[in-house]
Amino acid sequence: MPATISTAPGKTILFGEHAVVYGQPAIAIPVNERRAKVKIFPVIGVFSEKIQFIAPQIQLDKEYKELIPSHPFKIAMDEVKKYLNIPQYPSCKIFLSSTIPISSGLGSSAAISVALIKGLFEFIGFQPTKSILSQLAYQIEIEFHGHPSGIDNSVIAFNQPILFQKKKDIELIEPGEEFVIVIADSGIIGNTKIAVAGVRERWLKNRIGYEAYFNKIGELVIQAKKEIELGNHSEVGRLMNSNQEFLQRIGVSHPSLENLIKIAIKNGALGSKLSGGGLGGNIIALTRLEKADYLSQELLKNGAAQTIIMTLKKEIENE
Ligand code: PMV
C-alpha cells in the first residue's frame, strides 16, 4: 500500500451567487494558487483498523474511531468505504493541511473534503471520477452548510471553470484567454447562511421584484460564459459590474466591499464585484497581468486584509 499525496484547489464565484439558490446559473472558477493537501502513509503491521488524523492547523490529532459521527473527516471516510464496499481501511496516518483561508468563501471545506476523498480512493488503489469526487464531497458540504447549492464541491472536484445550475449537469467552461483576478478580503467575516436567509426573507416579501433580479442575473451569467470562452476581458469586466449592481439591490453588499470595489475600478480593474455570500468576505477584480501587483497593493493600502492574485488558465491544471 503506497503513501499517497492528493490536493484540491480553492474556488471563487465569478458570477451568479444567490440567484443560483433560486435555480439560475452561476459561474465558479478554481483558485489553484491556494490548495488543500492530504498525505496518507500506511502503518505496517497493524491489522485492526487504526487511522490517525493529524491536522495541526486545526489542532487535531485524533483517531478515526474517536471522531463524532458528524465530523467531516468521518463522513468522508464512511462515504468512501460505502462507495468502494470495503469492510475496513488499512491502518494509516492521514496528514491534512491547507493554504486556503477558512470561512472566507474560498471553498476551504469542500477542498479538504475533495483532497481527502481523492487520497482515500488512491490509497485503496482506485482512481475516482471527478463526478464521484464531487458527489461524495457534497455529502460533507451538507453537514457543513445545511442546504448548499453544490457549486463548491463541483468546481473544486472538476478543477475547471464551470457553469453550475441546480438539477442540471454542470457545463465545463474553457476560457479563450487567460484571465487575471485579484481576490481581496474585506476583513469583515461574511456569513453565507445569514446572507442567504436575508435574501430569502426579502424574496418572500417581494417575489416579483426579486425574481426579476434573479432572472437578470441569470441572463448575464449566460452572456458571461460566452465572453469568457471568447476571451473578451472588457466584456467580462462589464458584466461583473452589472452583476454587482444586482447584488447591491438584493441587499448582500457591504460598505467595506463597496469601498474595495471602488478602489479596484479607480485603479484600472476591468470589472469588480463581491464574490460568494457577501455582507463581508471577498471582492474580486478583473485586471491585466501587468497591473495585478499594483492593484493588489492599492487594495491592501485601502483596507483589504489580504489579497490573492490568481490566473485563470486556458488549459486545465495538472494536479
Ligand atoms: O460564500 P460562498 O463562497 O460559500 O458562496 C455562497 C454562494 C451562495 O450562492 C450565496 C449560496 C450557495 O449555496 O450557492
Q: Nearest CA to 310 among 289, 280, 282?
A: 289
Residue 12 Cβ < 6 Å to ligand 1: no
Residue 173 Cβ < 6 Å to ligand 1: no
For CATH 3.30.70.890, the residue range(s) in the chain are 174-312
Query: Over the stretch 146-182, which tens digit does the pLDDT of each residue have?
Result: 778 899 999 999 999 999 999 999 999 999 999 999 9
Query: Over the stretch 223-235, which tens digit does the pLDDT of each residue have?
Result: 999 999 999 999 9
DSSP 3-state of 165: coil
Burial of 265-301, coded b for 16+ CB within 10 Å and e otherwise, reads bebebbbbbbbbbbbbbbbbbbbeeebbeebbebbee
Quote the cell numbers at residue 236.
467580462
pTM for the structure as a whole: 0.94
Residue 18 Cβ < 6 Å to ligand 1: yes
For CATH 3.30.230.10, the residue range(s) in the chain are 4-164
Which residue has its alpha carbon closest to ligand 1 atom 4?
Answer: 105
Q: Which atom of ligand 1 is nearest to the CA of 147?
A: 13
Residue 260 Cβ < 6 Å to ligand 1: no
Q: Which conformational region is residue 175 in: left (phi greater than 0), alpha (psi within -120 to 50 degrees), or beta?
A: beta
Q: Cα 27 vs. chain centroid, distance in angstroms?
A: 11
User: What value does the mean pLDDT take over residues 188-196?
Assistant: 88
Which of 3.30.70.20, 2.30.40.10, 3.30.230.10, 3.30.2290.10 would CATH assign to domain 4-164?
3.30.230.10
Percent of the chain with pLDDT over 90: 89
Which residue has its alpha carbon closest to ligand 1 atom 5?
Answer: 276
CATH homologous superfamily of 174-312 equals: GHMP kinase, C-terminal domain (3.30.70.890)
The better pLDDT of the pair 186, 317 is held by: 186
Instruction: Report the distance separating Cα 189 and Cα 294, nearest Å.
Output: 25
CA angle 48, 52, 57 (to 5 degrees): 175
Query: Over the stretch 215-225, which tens digit does the pLDDT of each residue have?
Result: 999 999 999 99
Query: Over the stretch 264-316, which tens digit does the pLDDT of each residue have?
Result: 999 999 999 999 999 999 999 999 999 999 999 999 999 999 999 999 998 65
Task: Tell me how far the alpha carbon of residue 280 lies from the centroid of ligand 1, in angstroms.
Answer: 13
